[in-house]
Amino acid sequence: MENQEPSKRPTVVIVSGPFQGHLSPMLDLGNVLYSKGFGVIFAHTVFNAPDPSKQPDLIFLPMQENLADHQILPGDIIALVNILNKNCEEPLKKGLSEIMNRLEPENQVVCIICDMFMYFSESVARDLKLQCMIFRTSSASSALAYHALSRLQTEGYIPRKDSALDDVVPGLPLLRFRDIPTADMGTLQDAIDLTDNICNTRTSSAIICNTVDYLEPDEIVQFQHIYPVHYFPIGPLHMIAPTSSSSLLEADTNCLIWLDKQAPRSVIYVSVGSLAILEKEELAEMAWGLASSNHPFLWVVRSDAVPESEWADLIPEGFMETVGERGCIVKWAPQKEVLGHNAVGGFWSHCGWNSTLESISAGVPMICWPCFSDQKVNSRYLSHVWKVGLELDHKLERGVIKESMQRLMAGKEGEEIRVRANDMQHKMKMSVSEGGLSYASLSDLVDFILSF
């Protein structure tokens, strides 16, 4: 589809959740669809609202979710998602109706594309007589793990005793029970109830996924068998979207100047994402593990990484004097630019799906330290299926950290991992290029939306 004139753009509505890991790919999707000739209305919560000035081509529709302060505390994401689905339905329906009444016929809204967490959108689409599609910001592999939760509970496999966490999951032979996303941010029943909602397609006509066919071909086939609706794996979106900033946190670009001074592939980049909450003792083990590795490092330590602590107090006394110029610590980094820098040779990550795709597409091998949710599934695939990462014991210990960094950054094992990472990077680029699977799937998605 050639880009249409602005006055003749059919419009799609994108309804995003308020988490960084969801906002980024959904904004990318919005910009990609705009580049394909669509008008885009981006509906978002007032909490964690994106900056419209950084996305000039999109129309922004804030949804007033009326959250109390105690409802947006870190660590209770399941409760927050439940509240958003209760409180945002009416604001979206009202705001969207007002916009639709003002649009010219040639700019009419043709569908809603909703974040899998914002499943109330399907009801709004039905009331407004619009098609609805679901956007999954995670992998097909993790979707299968979520789908299995209810079955595993019914069959008595979960909850699981600690002594049996390394057993293989029936029906998911690549995963152990410790890899299953269960009660990380609530009770097991909370997780299953949420999963039942996000896995229910209701009357939605399609599922869009930010994944790549070659990464998980068998899982995609299984996924399509479970969900017999149109399916469009169009990732990784960050490789095809126009460059723009979608970060909720201000990135410190001075770290790029520091990277310019480092030797090629010598730096380990450390970031555990935007949501992980750590203990101060864990940060100390991370610090001294990095110090003892003797490798240069760029370490992201968010100001809210440890609740009720000042940022200046998070770094152990004497640490900076020990590492000197070998270390660079920032509150937030421009991650895609960092991973694309020639000096970066490894990524110690929480294994969020966006970070996973960004690291693979940059050819950077990983140290995998998942914190919650689908990160555990991603970590298992990175370390044991794709074999482009090393799994780090969740209980941080400085000696183990040092050993893992030495394995990844030096020696034969690290070289073999790097070769596989470079091969996956090449395949990722091929997938989004003309003739690639993601390229073709995106073209199919555009045609599917036009068919409405």
**Alpha carbons 319 and 334: distance in angstroms, whole number:** 24
Percent of the chain, pLDDT > 90? 82
Residue 6, pLDDT > 80, answer no
**Domain assignment of residue 180, given as a range:** 6-245+433-450
More confident residue, 395 or 330: 330
pLDDT score at 77:
82
More confident residue, 193 or 120: 120
Instruction: State pLDDT tens for residues 257-271.
Output: 999 999 999 999 999
pLDDT score at 184:
55
pLDDT score at 3:
45
Residue 2, pLDDT > 60, answer no
Q: How many domains does the chain have?
A: 2
What's the pLDDT band for 245 if we cut at 50, 70, 90?
confident
Does residue 1 belong to any structural domain of this protein? Answer: no
pLDDT score at 1:
38
Cis check for the bond before 10: say yes or no (omega within 30 of 0).
no
What's the pLDDT band for 185 if we cut at 50, 70, 90?
low
Q: Which residues of 146-167 are buried (b: 16+ CB within 10 A; e: fewer)?
A: bbbbbebbeeebbebeeeeeee
pTM for the model stands at 0.94
**Alpha carbons 88 and 17: distance in angstroms, whole number:** 11
**Alpha carbons 135 and 449: distance in angstroms, whole number:** 14
List for the chain the helix, strand, coil content (%; round to 5): 45, 15, 40
CATH (domain of 47): 3.40.50.2000
Q: Over the chain, what is the mean pLDDT?
A: 93
Rounded to a whole number of angstroms, the CA Rg of the chain reads 22
SS3 string, 148-188, reads HHHHHHHCCCCCCCHHHCCCEECCEEEEEHHHCCCCCCCCH
Same domain (yes/no): 321, 195 = no
Local structure of residue 2 (DSSP, 8 states): P
Same domain (yes/no): 204, 312 = no
**Rounded to the nearest 5 degrees, what angle is found at the Cα of 80, between the Cα atoms of 229 and 190?**
70
Same domain (yes/no): 94, 34 = yes
3 state DSSP class of 440: helix
Minimum mean pLDDT range among 221-235, 302-316, 318-332 = 302-316
Same domain (yes/no): 139, 266 = no
Same domain (yes/no): 23, 120 = yes
Mean pLDDT of 381-398: 93
Mean pLDDT of 378-401: 94
**Alpha carbons 59 and 389: distance in angstroms, whole number:** 39
**Alpha carbons 104 and 108: distance in angstroms, whole number:** 6
Does residue 413 belong to any structural domain of this protein? Answer: yes
Same domain (yes/no): 331, 411 = yes
pLDDT score at 73:
59
pLDDT score at 68:
75
Mean pLDDT of 168-183: 91
Same domain (yes/no): 235, 347 = no
Residue 368, pLDDT > 90, answer yes
Residue 4, pLDDT > 60, answer no
What's the pLDDT band for 75 if we cut at 50, 70, 90?
low
Same domain (yes/no): 205, 260 = no
**Alpha carbons 108 and 237: distance in angstroms, whole number:** 25
